[in-house]
Amino acid sequence: MTTRKFTPARSMGDFLALCKEAPAGMIRSYKDWKRFREAATSVPEHPLYGCAKLDALDEFEKNLVFGQDGLGGANWEVLVDILTYRQYENLWASFGIDLELLVNEKGYKCEGKGSMGITASYICTGNCYTADDDGFWPFDGRVKQARA
């Protein structure tokens, strides 16, 4: 597994700036997530090694929302009891998020373009939009990216 060449963000402003920088190795799309998850089956140093086929990962994946530049939102709670602290920290770092940012920004869920709801087990980075009927996530009306 490649060593991360970026420092996870500890504030929302730093996270959004990091997303714009688009550092190599950062999970910024469903395609990146799929590649990251697949590596978990064969790389012992991977944050998800040994748990790549758990139902909890499917649930986590189902709730991922990506914006144009990176993670828009996720349900952080589904993996809390599944991963070790180090695995959990490294998982979020792969999205560019330090656990300090997660703790400070949790409690909001992406619910639509420019709107979020209050939900304790979610984080919304403000970099999110709602899926349309075709299962695509519209980003500023310019880019579409398939979930699968």
**In this structure, are residues 78 and 46 in contact, taking their beta carbons and an 8 Å threshold?**
no
Best CA proximity match to 148, nearest among 49, 138, 137: 137
Higher pLDDT, 55 or 119: 55
Alpha carbons 49 and 120: distance in angstroms, whole number: 27
pLDDT score of 60 more than 70: yes
Q: In this prediction, what percent of the chain has a pLDDT beyond 90?
A: 16
pLDDT score of 109 more than 60: no
Place of tokens 């748990």: 51
**In this structure, are residues 34 and 40 in contact, taking their beta carbons and an 8 Å threshold?**
no
- Per-residue pLDDT at 108: 54
- Per-residue pLDDT at 93: 94
Q: CA 114, 120, 125, 128: dihedral to nearest 10 degrees?
A: -40
pLDDT score of 20 more than 80: yes
Higher pLDDT, 71 or 136: 71
- Per-residue pLDDT at 57: 85
- Per-residue pLDDT at 96: 94
